[in-house]
Amino acid sequence: MGIGLGLWAGLIMATAGGAEDATNPPTQSLTLRLAIQLALSHNRTLEKAGLDREVQRFDLRVAQDEFVPKVDLTSTARYNPVTTAGVDTRTRSGSVSAALSERIPTGARFGLVWDNLATDRSTALTKTYDSSLFLQLDQPLLRGGGLEVNLANLRIARLSEQTSLWEFKRNVIATITNVVFVYRSLQQAQRQVEVSEVAVTRAREQLRINRALVSSGILAPVEIIQTEADIANQEFNLLTAQSNRDSARFALIKILDVDRDTLFVSTEPLALPEFASDLETCRRLAFQHRPDYQQALQGKAISELGVVSARNNQLWSLNLSSRYRLAGGDTNFPSAIDRAFTRQNEDWNVNLTLQVPIGDLTRKQTFLRARGRAQKAAIDVTEITENIEIEVRDALRTIELTSRRVRVAAVARELSERKLEIEKGKLQAGRTTNFAIVTFQNDLISARLNEIGAQVSYLNAITVLEQTLGTTLAAWGIRIEDLGPDSGPARASLSNPP
């Protein structure tokens, strides 16, 4: 019965392995750095974030264009037949105008308009041409006036553009961190498969030894059942480890956004780098490089500029405006222009307009909302500052703890190996039982798996610290390609690709 169980489990393993070889494509070697490069090139979340950056850069360009002079050209043509008391009068006219307008950072608006009109009536002997030049200037003195309030929109646009760039960096950091975690999960799963395969081989070898000991009378035949049961358990564990490895492969394919039929195999060893850093250095790095902290600071500055605009909007409206006009007309166009500049027909005026809103609560409402947003933004900065302090301390503590676990797990694995070898020697002399051997073998498997888990946890703790400090991009040598306003979607790439 016991031998039948072992053969049945072996048949299951052979069938599963044959099915995998028949249906799965060849595996592809993959290092962690290559996985990061694939994610930066193919990950759709980063691709969409890069497309957003193209629009956001242009939004800043539009805001910067606010104080650039604008030119509008207008042309019209008109035909108007009129019958009065049986007399037909047909009028044909055409006009061309050019308007130059500019908004000045003080809030003033400057305008220069040149109008030219040509009219041809059926009752007139000749065509008439009119040319006029308008010059106007409007300057708010209270509401809407001053450099601070008029430059607020441009400053907000610059801060918003920087905020969006930090958001793109945050997406890149999050993607890289996830790739590292998933890749290390694959590394861990592959090593669990290796440990399980060794355990199956070891259990089968122990069965061969036990049969020899039974034949020589050193071991009771009943001990064979225990060994065969252990083989079945180890083969079950191997199937579970292979399933976990395949799940890790699929998770990696998903985040890399590559061909779904690709089977990656990690070829990078679990190298454990030495880590040494102090709390003060980590705090400084976090406040310099954390995207969410920089975004919070910029959000606070934006909300404060919003308060400036809302406060100014509560003032009375007092506007100073000035108009100047030159006009001239004649039977040909050049003469009409000459007559306009002889200043025979000119007029100008200066106006001062005061508007006092009474009973309008919306301006106060807007100011209170803006002030509330600014106060909340200040609270957000305080909160994230405190959170960074906690997260940095926790990340450093986790690295120290996982480093100690790696050392302890290595010692435990070495002792388990020695303990098993000693027990095997005792079994040869008939001084112990097969149950003790199986128990010590399982202890060694657990010790090896614990060591692998501790190593992965230590590496992941370093990755978490890099994310906490915002230094992931620098740690992996990643540059952000986000240059001029017409450079297209933003991209991230490795400075030294594998």
**Start-to-end C-alpha separation, the chain:** 55
| Tens digits of residue pLDDT in 440-480 | 888 888 899 999 999 999 999 999 999 999 999 999 999 98
pLDDT for residue 483: 67
H/E element, 93: strand 87-103
For 101, residues 6+ apart whose C-beta sits below 8 A from its C-beta are 69, 70, 72, 109, 110, 111, 112
| Tens digits of residue pLDDT in 321-352 | 999 988 888 777 788 777 777 877 888 999 99
DSSP secondary-structure letter at 144? T
**Closest among 142, 151, 175 to 37, alpha carbons compared:** 175
Q: List the structure tokens of 224.
A: 């064979």
Beta bridge partners of 93: 78, 119
CA distances in angstroms from 53 to 133, 279, 294, 366, listed in the order given: 43, 34, 17, 30
pLDDT for residue 190: 92
Of the segments 15-24, 143-152, 214-223, 227-236, which one has the largest average pLDDT value? 143-152
pLDDT for residue 370: 94
CB atoms within 10 A of CB 21: 9
**Closest among 40, 63, 89 to 256, alpha carbons compared:** 40
Q: How confident is the model at residue 25 (pLDDT cuts 50, 70, 90)?
A: low
**Is there a contact between 323 and 348 (Cβ–Cβ < 8 Å)?**
yes
| Tens digits of residue pLDDT in 71-115 | 999 999 988 887 777 677 788 888 899 999 999 999 999 999 988
- Residues 111 and 70: their CA atoms lie apart, in Å, by 10
| Tens digits of residue pLDDT in 369-418 | 999 999 999 999 999 999 999 999 999 999 999 999 999 999 999 998 89
Is the pTM of the predicted complex or chain greater than 0.85?
Answer: no
Q: What is the mean pLDDT of the chain?
A: 86
- Residues 240 and 463: their CA atoms lie apart, in Å, by 27
Beta bridge partners of 111: 101, 136
Q: How confident is the model at residue 6 (pLDDT cuts 50, 70, 90)?
A: very low
CATH 1.20.1600.10 placement within the chain: 2-62+153-303+380-494
What CATH number should be reported for the domain whose range is 2-62+153-303+380-494? 1.20.1600.10
- Residues 184 and 172: their CA atoms lie apart, in Å, by 18
Q: List the structure tokens of 50.
A: 């890069």
DSSP secondary-structure letter at 344? S
H/E element, 95: strand 87-103
- Residues 492 and 477: their CA atoms lie apart, in Å, by 10
- Residues 199 and 206: their CA atoms lie apart, in Å, by 10
> Which parts of 69-151 fold into alpha helices (H)?
147-150
pLDDT for residue 434: 67
For 222, residues 6+ apart whose C-beta sits below 8 A from its C-beta are none
Q: List the structure tokens of 203.
A: 């259990």
Percent with pLDDT over 90 in the chain: 49
CB atoms within 10 A of CB 71: 10
pLDDT for residue 16: 42
For 82, residues 6+ apart whose C-beta sits below 8 A from its C-beta are 88, 89, 90, 91
Q: How confident is the model at residue 484 (pLDDT cuts 50, 70, 90)?
A: low
CA distances in angstroms from 378 to 14, 45, 304, 408, listed in the order given: 64, 30, 9, 45
Which one has a higher pLDDT value, 125 or 226?
A: 226
pLDDT for residue 9: 41
| Mean pLDDT, rounded, for 57-75 | 89
Residue 296 has pLDDT above 70, yes or no: yes
**Is there a contact between 293 and 384 (Cβ–Cβ < 8 Å)?**
yes
pLDDT for residue 8: 38
For 157, residues 6+ apart whose C-beta sits below 8 A from its C-beta are 59, 60, 62, 63, 64
| Mean pLDDT, rounded, for 224-242 | 85
Beta bridge partners of 324: 135, 348
- Residues 332 and 290: their CA atoms lie apart, in Å, by 70
Tell me which residue has tokens 């006219």. 93
pLDDT for residue 471: 94
SS3 276: coil
- Residues 349 and 323: their CA atoms lie apart, in Å, by 5
Low-confidence winner among 200-209, 232-241, 448-457 (lowest mean pLDDT): 200-209
**Closest among 181, 237, 231, 238 to 462, alpha carbons compared:** 181
Q: How confident is the model at residue 3 (pLDDT cuts 50, 70, 90)?
A: very low
